Amino acid sequence: MKCELKELGWSEELDSGLKDIDRQHQYLLKLLRDMSENTEIPGNSELFSHLLVEFNEAVLRHFDFEEALLAKLGYQYLEEHQQQHEKILQQLADVSMTAVFNSKEAPKEFINALCEWFEQHLSEEDTLYFQTLNTSIIQG
């Protein structure tokens, strides 16, 4: 699957029902787009590296927030979701090192991999807890 950032936009289908989660997802998408745009500029590795660090930190903040919220709600698949997050963080660390230290093509490959992850995780994994989240908010 080839993920096109230009085509990957925000839609109502991706709404979680919680503004904080949606803002975090939208910010991650913005950082992905910013990194994608900066892989095209020769000699812009410092800006790309800065965006990469910010993306990694934003992912960590988002995962921490999401897991704490799901724990509070008693989400029955929290452990599996946390394991997915751990796997993603390891993959992110691996591809980050490749993007920073390897060929000029590595950042483009990295961005494509992140785009695919973002699209898959958001549309498949996160939507599994949206129903629990929305039910809890309604019952709140």
Residue 10 lies in a domain: no
Domain annotation covers residue 78: yes
**Residue 52: what pLDDT?**
84
Q: Which helix (H) or strand (E) holds 139?
A: helix 127-139
- Domain encompassing residue 29: 16-139
Furthest C-alpha separation in the chain: 53
Give the per-residue pLDDT at 62. 94
- Judge whether 37 lies within some domain: yes
pTM above 0.75, yes or no: yes
**What domain count does the chain have?**
1
From CA 23, how far away is CA 52, in angstroms rounded?
19
Pair of tokens at residue 130: 């949206």
- pLDDT tens readout for residues 38-77: 766 555 577 777 888 899 999 999 999 999 998 998 888 8
Q: State the Cα torsion 131-132-136-137 to the nearest 10°.
A: -40
State the CATH number of the domain containing residue 80. Answer: 1.20.120.50
**pLDDT, position 83:** 93
**Is 126 a domain residue?**
yes
Average pLDDT on 76-103 reads 81
Spatial separation of the C-alpha atoms in residues 92 and 116, rounded to whole Å: 12
In a domain, 5, yes or no: no
For the chain, what percent of residues have pLDDT higher than 90? 19
Kindly report, residue by residue over 9-43, the tens digit of the pLDDT: 677 777 777 889 889 989 998 888 888 877 665 55
pLDDT at 1: 40
Residue 65 located in a structural domain: yes
In a domain, 133, yes or no: yes
Residue, of 86 and 6, whose pLDDT is higher: 86
